[in-house]
Structure 1
Amino acid sequence: MDKEKLEEALLEVKRGNEVVRERLIRHYKPYIINVVGHICKRYVSWSSDETSIGLIAFNRALDTFQFGRGRTFLNYVFLLIKRDLIDYFRKEKQEHHLSIHSVTAKEKDSHTSMDAVKSIEMYEQNNATSNLVSEILELDGILSHFKISFDELEKYSPKHNDSRLLVFEMADAFLKQEDLVEQLRKKHYFPATKFTKRTSYRLKTVERHRKYLVTLILIKLHPEWTHLSSYVQLGPRSVKK
């Protein structure tokens, strides 16, 4: 997420927009997990106690971060998460791999900066780019109008190559029907009956793959989603016969 969009989103959060807060949490979820795992020096899941501490710190960062103070947002998030985890482990008196022995303020800033860079690099390497996450969130927002969630698409994804190829063909055929595409865009409704009457596809087949088909059509209608197109291997070429 670029600086301008982030600044606008943080202003919305400060105004009490909880929808934007939730979107930011979902957007930076991979980074939060990577930071917590980096500090704990072990694998953590989203349900781990340590990750909960990280999420609380992230929420505080959303409320308190200010641009122009010399730190990037991700560095600021890292700093808050690290401080909270140190306090957590001290209070719980648990043995932990993290070194919390006394160091000078300068050394603390140096270590924090280096660790933050490593976490950012890990985030970028393991999660492609933040652009992909942004595109997924944007798609998910549009899919919600069709009562579809991006998270459930794997369940409805065609399991066989021939079925998958058929869905891609149906998506291309639908895009040739300009009036139906317009209806899909404006009314957020997939006209399955009209589509099958104009083509050779069976209504039962279309309905069986409706959620995945709608998703493919929407992605094809947004060529600017380049990362998402690659992520879902958009196109018949991805099908191995």
Structure 2
Amino acid sequence: MKSDELQIILQQIRDGDELARERMIRHYKPYIINVAGKVSKKFVSWNDEESSIALLAFNKALDHFEEEAGRTFLNYVYLLIHRDLIDYYRKENKETHFSYQSTSEDEKSIDHESDLAIAQYEKEIQAHELIEEILELDLTLQQYKIAFEELEKHSPKHRDTREDLFDIAHTIAEDDECTDLLISKKKLPSSLIVKKYGWKKKTLERHRKYLITLIVIALNPQWEQLSQYVRKKGTE
């Protein structure tokens, strides 16, 4: 989440917008659980006491985080969860889990662990977003009588060919006349493309499903994870 967007949402929360608070909790839930488990050194579910403590700490972060303090929001969340869970274990006579003293070395260790937790969280979020985007793509491709599952079969075997098709798809996606026909007719306007750009019709038809998929993805820039995933697969 970008800094400007975060500050706007935090201000909404501090102005009493409980829906904004709930959206933040839902968005960062995987991170909250991940940190609670990492600090507790065990598997933690959303129903465990550790998660409840972590959630309270997260709410404190929503209410009190200041960007000028020198930490990122997620670093700050990690620090609060870490400290609150330590206090919890101490009160519950579970000090075997931790030996904590507030020293500069401890702060460095917390920052390092926080960075690892953030990296894991971002990886999980990206995976979730990719799945969501694939489902959206699949629904869109059904209009063109293409199933996402069959794309692997229709993917060109040669890397150079895939790169050429990426370039073709990008060009067509920026051509309003071609994309209007593609979207309205739900089929590749091969004759028009050949006429305008001189590409071989045989090439277009042979890779029709793969090319349509690339164009559809190019026309939906909000599918960031999917675009990166397909591009990566195309250059392997």
Q: Shared topology, TM-score over 0.5?
A: yes
Name 2:35's counterpart in structure 1.
35
Name 1:227's counterpart in structure 2.
225
List aligned pairs for 1:138-153, cutoff 5 A.
Answer: none
Counterpart-to-counterpart distance in 2, 1:68 and 1:169 = 46
Cα distance, 1:52 vs structure 2: 0.8
Cα distance, 1:227 vs structure 2: 2.5
Compared CA separation, residues 228 and 50, structure 1 to 2 (3 A)? farther
Counterpart-to-counterpart distance in 1, 2:83 and 2:33 = 15
Identity over aligned pairs, percent: 44
Deviates more, 1:87-96 or 1:14-23: 87-96
List aligned pairs for 1:8-87, cutoff 5 A.
Answer: 8-87=8-87
Question: Which residue identity is paired with 2:143?
Answer: A
Structure holding more helix per residue: 2
Counterpart-to-counterpart distance in 2, 1:45 and 1:122 = 17
Name 1:184's counterpart in structure 2.
none
Does the aligned pair in 1 maintain the 2:57–2:81 contact within 8 Å?
yes
Counterpart-to-counterpart distance in 1, 2:141 and 2:75 = 46
Deviates more, 1:24-33 or 1:89-98: 89-98
Counterpart-to-counterpart distance in 2, 1:104 and 1:224 = 43
Compared CA separation, residues 223 and 107, structure 1 to 2 (3 A)? closer
Does the aligned pair in 1 maintain the 2:89–2:97 contact within 8 Å?
no
Name 2:170's counterpart in structure 1.
none
Name 1:114's counterpart in structure 2.
112
Name 2:154's counterpart in structure 1.
none
Compared CA separation, residues 227 and 84, structure 1 to 2 (3 A)? same
Counterpart-to-counterpart distance in 1, 2:20 and 2:105 = 36
Compared CA separation, residues 170 and 104, structure 1 to 2 (3 A)? closer
Question: Structure 1: where are the runs of 5+ without partners?
Answer: 140-152, 154-164, 179-218, 234-241
Name 1:212's counterpart in structure 2.
none
1:161-213, CA deviations, whole angstroms, 9 ceiling, x for partnerless residues? xxxx8x6665348x6389xxxxxxxxxxxxxxxxxxxxxxxxxxxxxxxxxxx
Cα distance, 1:128 vs structure 2: 2.3
Counterpart-to-counterpart distance in 2, 1:169 and 1:110 = 49
Does the aligned pair in 1 maintain the 2:33–2:46 contact within 8 Å?
yes
Cα distance, 1:228 vs structure 2: 6.1
SS in 2 for 1:127: helix
Q: Normalization by structure 2: what TM-score?
A: 0.58
Cα distance, 1:96 vs structure 2: 4.2
Q: Normalization by structure 1: what TM-score?
A: 0.56
> Higher Cα Rg: structure 1 or 2?
2
Counterpart-to-counterpart distance in 1, 2:116 and 2:85 = 18
Count of aligned pairs: 164
Name 1:171's counterpart in structure 2.
143
Question: Structure 2: where are the runs of 5+ without partners?
Answer: 146-182, 187-216, 231-236
Compared CA separation, residues 226 and 117, structure 1 to 2 (3 A)? closer
- RMSD, aligned CA: 3.6
Question: Which residue identity is paired with 1:112?
Answer: I
Name 1:128's counterpart in structure 2.
126
1:3-51, CA deviations, whole angstroms, 9 ceiling, x for partnerless residues? 1111111111111111111111111111111111110111111111101
